[in-house]
Structure 1
Amino acid sequence: MKYIEDREFLQLLKHHEESFLGWDFSLISDTGRVASEPLEWSYVSKAMTFIHTSKAMLDMGTGGGEQLSRLRPFPELVCATEAYAPNVPIAKKRLEPLGVRVIAIDDDDFLPFDDAGFDLVLNKHESFSPAEVRRILRPGGTFLTQQVGGLDCAGINERLGAPDYEYADWTLSQALAGLKSNGFEIVDQQEQFPIQRFYDIGALVYYLKAIEWQIADFQPQKYIEQLYGLYLDIQRDGY
């Protein structure tokens, strides 16, 4: 058990204890400790195109409101939902001064909005009920979503010997089937499997704390020998 004597490795594991608030990955992303291959499209650029012609929009899964706050100017009516309770006060503090109504939800099948209340519904990396989105969307309105597929970072689970991601079967084809069966016309669809690199083991354990559904109940001690193997790989290859 050489990891017991490796002080640098053990220190890096302590990054799992760092606090994670809202949807802010700046601790590892802004410092260059993790990097993803660029996508062939920009969700934000697409969203802004629709926002400029919208009169009433909803942002589903706003996190701490970090991204939505940067998409101004807003339409006349802007609402945001968030299902992760610790994020709600953060989003309220950031967004309500900007005129955004922030609402906590706990059920994708029931959104507290009137029928046909929005001409634009945005959704980045948030679960959704196609039927419920269809209900709140006006005829001719737009639903723009960018999802994380069930195979995202599957290599992490494989290397650590962890169970597969619970929603490993969540794919573009499954999403399209649900939307089409609820009367949506698919205007554009794209799928990509970008490479993501972690440049130190501390960044990886911090990521797994934040993305808590990747490996359920992840604790470094449970996978410490596998993590040490990855740590040595990073020492050798740089990532």
Structure 2
Amino acid sequence: MSDERPRSFEELLAEGALVPTEGWDFSWFEGRATEARPSWGYAGTLAGRLSGAGAVLDVQTGGGEVLDFALARAGRRPALTAATEGWPPNVTRATALLRPRGVVVVASPEDAPLPFADESFDLVVSRHPVRAHWDEIARVLRPGGTYFAQHVGPGSARELVEFFLGPRPAELWEARHPDRERRAAEAAGLETVDVRAERLRMEFHDIAAVVHFLRKVVWMVPDFTVGRYRPRLRALHERIEAEGAFVAHSSRHLFEMRRGARTP
């Protein structure tokens, strides 16, 4: 039997509030929170796509972890690989991680036009972009080029968000529906190759994991701070203590879109 005493609510809050949030490395959550992964295995599949590409752009790369993982496993690296990121701490992290692999990391706000010439890339990729700018993606793709990405789908972590914010309007949850995004991509001139969607179980085993998650994935509860939501955090802590892990569900969809060949 372990002699370690259970950590108090205040200790867990403090721990969750101090964990660095840069990048998309979620290893800190091990043993404290889990999320099932989509069946298509985005990062592993991406490695194969990189092997067959000549010029690649990773949009909103975060800390560069996913691209780094895929490049390390690619049988052949592209001749040119670039990545964009808008949040300065992530730009620094991604540059340090990806520069040794020959990747050019460009600081670019997520809502700004992509800082590249027309038809620069035969493969554009992204994992969990805040929003896909379809016109820009189509512009920088070469004719016959592919957009391959995993997006956050509708209603992701809805149970957790509504625990803090209360019921949200249905139309808010539908904003990321894959059918809506597909139509927007096609309106920008891209052709649909494949769209898949899955809903996946998430579990939070302590309140520190919840705090860190909401600090890291800032669009879930946009005004989140520990001080502002302390009463709800305490209520959730007591619920986890009494009932076990808090269960929510993430939503993910896979996009493969192609720019049509240039007409004569």
TM-score (norm 2): 0.82
| Partner of residue 223, structure 1 | 229
Name the CA distance, whole Å, in 2 between partners of 1:91 and 1:131.
25
The alignment status of 1:157 with 2:166, answered yes or no, reads: no
What's the CA shift string for 1:43-64, capped at 9, x where partnerless? Answer: 1232122211101101111111
1-side partners of 2:165 and 2:152: how far apart?
Answer: 21
* 3-state SS of 2:198 partner: coil
Aligned match of 1:119: 122
- The Cα of 1:163 is off from its aligned counterpart by 7.5
Out of 132, 137, 151, the position equivalent to 2:136 is 132
- Structure-2 separation of matches of 1:156 and 1:209: 13
Number of residue pairs the alignment of both structures matches:
232
The answer for the alignment partner of 2:97 in structure 1 is 94
Contact 1:56 1:77 in 2 (8 A): yes
* Over 6 Å off, 4+ runs: none
- In structure 1, C-alpha distance between the alignment counterparts of 2:102 and 2:172, rounded to whole Å: 35
Higher strand share: 2
1:10 paired to 2:22: no
Q: Is the Cα contact below 8 Å between 2:164 and 2:221 reproduced in 1?
A: no
The within-5 A match list for 1:1-239 is 8-14=8-14, 15-28=16-29, 31-72=30-71, 73=74, 74-126=77-129, 127-161=131-165, 164=168, 168=173, 169-239=175-245
Residue range with higher mean Cα deviation, 215-224 or 187-196? 215-224
How far residue 148 of structure 1 moved from its aligned partner, in angstroms, is 0.7
Counterparts of 2:165 and 2:97, CA distance in 1 = 39
Q: Is the 8 A contact 1:39 1:194 kept in 2?
A: yes
Instruction: Structure 2 unaligned segments of length 5 or more: list them.
Output: 1-5, 246-264
User: Structure 1 pair 167/60, CA: closer, same or farther in 2 (3 Å)?
Assistant: farther
Shift of 1:221: 2.6
1:108, 1:128 within 8 Å by CA — same for their partners in 2? no
The answer to whether the 8 A contact 2:9-2:234 is kept is yes
Q: Residues 63 and 93 of structure 2 are in contact (CA less than 8 Å); yes or no, is this contact kept in structure 1? A: yes
User: Does the 8 Å CA contact 2:85/2:110 hold for their aligned counterparts?
Assistant: no
Distance 2:221 2:123 in 1: 33
CA RMSD after TM alignment: 2.0
* 1:160–1:172 Cα change, 3 Å: same
CA deviations on 1:57-108 (whole Å, 9 max, x unpaired) are 0111111111211222421000011011211111111111211100011154
> In terms of mean alpha carbon deviation, does 95-104 or 107-116 score higher?
107-116
- TM-score norm. by structure 1 comes to 0.90
Stretch deviating more after TM superposition (168-177 or 96-105): 168-177
Measure the CA separation in 2 of the matches of 1:219 and 1:190.
34
* Contact map agreement 1:83 1:106 (CA 8 A) in 2: yes
1:167-197, Cα deviation, whole Å (9 max, x unpaired): 6322111110111111211111111221211
Change (3 A) 1:162 1:82: farther
In structure 2, C-alpha distance between the alignment counterparts of 1:190 and 1:83, rounded to whole Å: 27
Q: 1:109 to 1:176 in 2, by over 3 A?
A: farther
